[in-house]
Amino acid sequence: MRITHIFRGTTQKTPDMVITTGRNFSRMPLGYGPCPGPRQDAKGNQPLQGWDQVNTKTCTVTFKAPAAQLVALLPRPCFQIDAETVVEGLAEASISFTSLGNLPWLAGRGYNHSGLYIHNVICQGKTESVQGKYLSVLFENLPDPILSGREELGYPKLFATLDQDDNVEASGDWSLSMGWEGNQFGEVKISGLRLEVAPPEPARPGQDVLCFKYIPRTGRPGVADVEYATVSPAPSPECFKLERMFKAKDAKIHFEALGFDELPTLHHVAARLAELDIVSVEDVRIVEGKGAPDYQNQRAVSTWGYGLSTN
């Protein structure tokens, strides 16, 4: 198909223009063909090849915190922490940092992300009950995955600088600084990391990742165009090839409740994170290897009272 455009008094012909319909992902701006991203290329081809060659490093600090504080971060009544996993008023959560490199959709480039996960959360839908880790907020240091992740996956992504100081091999130390425009609001510090010299242990069974997708209605404050739960099924063990693992016995996590002047668009999130009382650290590990999921199997969960708004 050939379409003729009249633009500033000139005639331009665009060969093989692709209309973004069917099973292609469409994101603004429309009119330019399929939007390239993690799950399709510029021609709409899915899936992309090369995810098994992605360089992945993930640092996870698992901790216990008051269940009431974690429940307060769940966005809708359809989400609840499994009562059987709450012991003496404490529930499990984690701060996780991942560095990704050699990504096929970024022409070999990479980025970092770090998020708060609330474990053992049950999402009660209309026809199903889904249990997994609830992703409360995910900071990323590149806008491209933020756009695709918010719109296609329903992930609660925000921009932040994520600077790691990796001295694991030299001294067993590792740290992460989370910030915005030079203002640090979060920090993770780990010392005493040791390489696991035994054969790498099999990957622990992963949990599905739950999120809540929300898009506001234009011109209608308080009204949603879209609001529903989403789930990312746990990747299969074959998705990631573990190469090295480091473990430590303790870690320090600190969030600072900076105000509007320092964090104009993030101060509300930083303040809530700073309120978390980390009672005990349960597990500290860094894993390195090859492979990452593309989340092609991401899906919506039909939840009571929440869905596509018709207002």
Number of domains in the chain: 2
Q: pLDDT (tens digit, 9 = 90+) per residue, 84-96?
A: 999 999 999 999 9
Average pLDDT, integer, range 273-288: 98
Tokens of 78: 């359809």
Residue 72 has pLDDT above 80, yes or no: yes
Q: What is the reported pTM?
A: 0.90
Closest C-alpha among 185, 75, 206 to residue 139? 185
* 206 pLDDT tier (thresholds 50, 70, 90): confident
Clarify whether residues 21 and 96 are in a common domain: no
40 close to 24: Cβ distance less than 8 angstroms: yes
* 199 pLDDT tier (thresholds 50, 70, 90): low
Average pLDDT, integer, range 264-282: 99
Q: Strand, coil or helix: what is 148?
A: helix
pLDDT of residue 161: 99
Q: Strand, coil or helix: what is 269?
A: helix
* 14 pLDDT tier (thresholds 50, 70, 90): very low
Residue 102 has pLDDT above 70, yes or no: yes
Q: What CATH number corresponds to the domain at position 94? A: 2.40.400.10
Clarify whether residues 27 and 109 are in a common domain: no
Clarify whether residues 118 and 40 are in a common domain: no
CA distances from 160 to 235, 259, 267 (A): 26, 15, 12
How confident is the prediction for the chain on average, in pLDDT? 91
Task: Give the integer Cα–Cα distance in Å for 261 and 160.
Answer: 16
Clarify whether residues 120 and 40 are in a common domain: no
Q: Which domain covers residue 276, as residue numbers?
A: 54-301
Clarify whether residues 21 and 84 are in a common domain: no
Map tokens 């099924």 to a residue.
233
Residue 119 has pLDDT above 50, yes or no: yes
Contacts of 274 (CB under 8 A, 6+ apart): 255, 256, 257
288 close to 57: Cβ distance less than 8 angstroms: yes
Clarify whether residues 218 and 263 are in a common domain: yes
The last residue of one of the domains, among 46, 64, 84, is: 46
pLDDT of residue 24: 82
Residue 11 has pLDDT above 90, yes or no: no
pLDDT of residue 204: 60
Report yes or no on 6 lying in a domain.
Answer: no
Tokens of 242: 């573990």
By CB neighbour count within 10 A (0-12 exposed, 13-18 middle, 19+ buried), where does 268 fall? exposed
φ/ψ of residue 136, rounded to 5: -80, -45
Residue 305 has pLDDT above 90, yes or no: no
Clarify whether residues 124 and 246 are in a common domain: yes
**Do strands 129-140 and 208-216 pair parallel, antiparallel, or not at all (unpaired)?**
parallel
Clarify whether residues 211 and 74 are in a common domain: yes
Min mean pLDDT across 29-33, 53-57, 97-101, 263-267 is at 29-33
Average pLDDT, integer, range 16-40: 78
Residue 244 has pLDDT above 90, yes or no: yes
More confident residue, 310 or 175: 175
* 302 pLDDT tier (thresholds 50, 70, 90): confident
